[in-house]
Amino acid sequence: MTNLNKAVVLITGASGGFGQELTRQLLAAGSRLILTDINEAVLRERVAAIQSEVKTGEVLVCLGSDLSHAQGCDTLYHQVKAFDTPIDILINNAGVGLFGRMDEIPPEKWEYLMQVNLLTPMRLSSLFVADMVERRQGHIVNISSLAGWCAIAGMAHYSASKFGLRGFSEGLFNEVKDYNVKVTAVYPFFSRTPILQSERFGTLAKTFAGLPEHLITDPADVMRATIQGIIKNQLHVFPDPTANRLHLLKRYFPPLVDWINSRMGRSMKNG
């Protein structure tokens, strides 16, 4: 079991939908948080609002960090090291999305997505895991997506990044488990966060009508289930009913998932 009370937790993407819920719920659990996002002013504003409601736990520091390149990850690592407070849990939560047919998306857009969604968690994990291995204590959490199991039209790049993060998480788990370092990968379905307003491009964007409202999950519920998975040291966490059902269908009845994807694709089109 991973103990959250007094645990020092580093959360990336802390001002986003999932990041705010992680902040709120981990403070309620008594954790001590190091929070980072690309816009420090926005981050501080949102953290202040959360702290006006939640009086337990502690925010150690808020840091503005551009983690879309190796230098930004290195800078964050050295900023955290300067506090001389070992990280108990690293939550790689920062992520971006986009939607469109893969050949109609500007290369710089999907390459940036791959940097943030896949290379950043890999870089930060490689930096912080050495300290965890030396201490024989630590936990790395990667927020992937159900798109890391099932890829629908318009999300080829996003799914590639999340499939990659799933594979990295499994490999990392097997490499560090003998050192008492835990790894958890989380696969939520579409949730009510700003990623639903991601940029859209080309042919598919013109016919995109949005997701059916009844399928969209509440980020508070998703992160509540995620935190329970962290506490229980689960490698794979499917934090909502749709994610849990679809991943089981993908494993055991893949043709059925193809049919569901086709139905979903039609329901997301205008006209």
Write the pLDDT tens digit of every residue in 28-69: 999 999 999 999 999 999 999 999 999 999 999 999 999 999
The pLDDT value given to residue 254: 76
| Residue 100 reports pLDDT greater than 90 | yes
How confident is the model over 197-209, as a mean pLDDT? 84
Q: Which domains does the chain have, with CATH numbers?
A: 8-267 (3.40.50.720)
The pLDDT value given to residue 67: 98
| Residue 191 reports pLDDT greater than 50 | yes
| Residue 85 reports pLDDT greater than 50 | yes
* CB-CB contact of 176 with 133 (8 Å): yes
Please tell me the least confidently modeled range out of 23-27, 156-160, 223-227, 260-264.
260-264
User: Cα–Cα distance between 244 and 188 in angstroms, integer?
Assistant: 9
pLDDT digit string, tens, across residues 109-151: 999 999 999 999 999 999 999 999 999 999 999 999 999 998 8
- Model confidence at 196, pLDDT cuts 50, 70, 90, reads confident
- Higher-confidence residue: 235 or 254? 235
- H-run or E-run covering 95: none
The pLDDT value given to residue 265: 61
- Model confidence at 266, pLDDT cuts 50, 70, 90, reads low
Q: Is the pTM higher than 0.85?
A: yes
Closest CA to 181 of 128, 227, 242, 228: 128
Q: What pairs with residue 89 in β-bridges?
A: 9, 139
> What spatial distance separates the first Cα and last Cα of the chain, rounded to whole Å?
50
The phi-psi region of residue 113 (left if phi > 0; otherwise alpha if psi is between -120 and 50; otherwise beta) is alpha
| Residue 152 reports pLDDT greater than 90 | no
Closest CA to 91 of 142, 163, 136: 142
3-state SS of 125-191 is HHHHHHHHHHHCCEEEEEECCHHHCCCCCCCHHHHHHHHHHHHHHHHHHHHHHHHCEEEEEECCCCE
Residues with Cβ within 8 Å of residue 71, at least 6 apart in sequence? none
Cα separation values, 67 from 93, 117, 118, 154, 253, Å: 11, 10, 11, 25, 38
- Mean pLDDT (the chain, rounded): 93
**What percent of the chain lies above the pLDDT cut of 90?**
79
The pLDDT value given to residue 260: 67
| Residue 17 reports pLDDT greater than 80 | yes
How confident is the model over 233-238, as a mean pLDDT? 98
| Residue 271 reports pLDDT greater than 70 | no
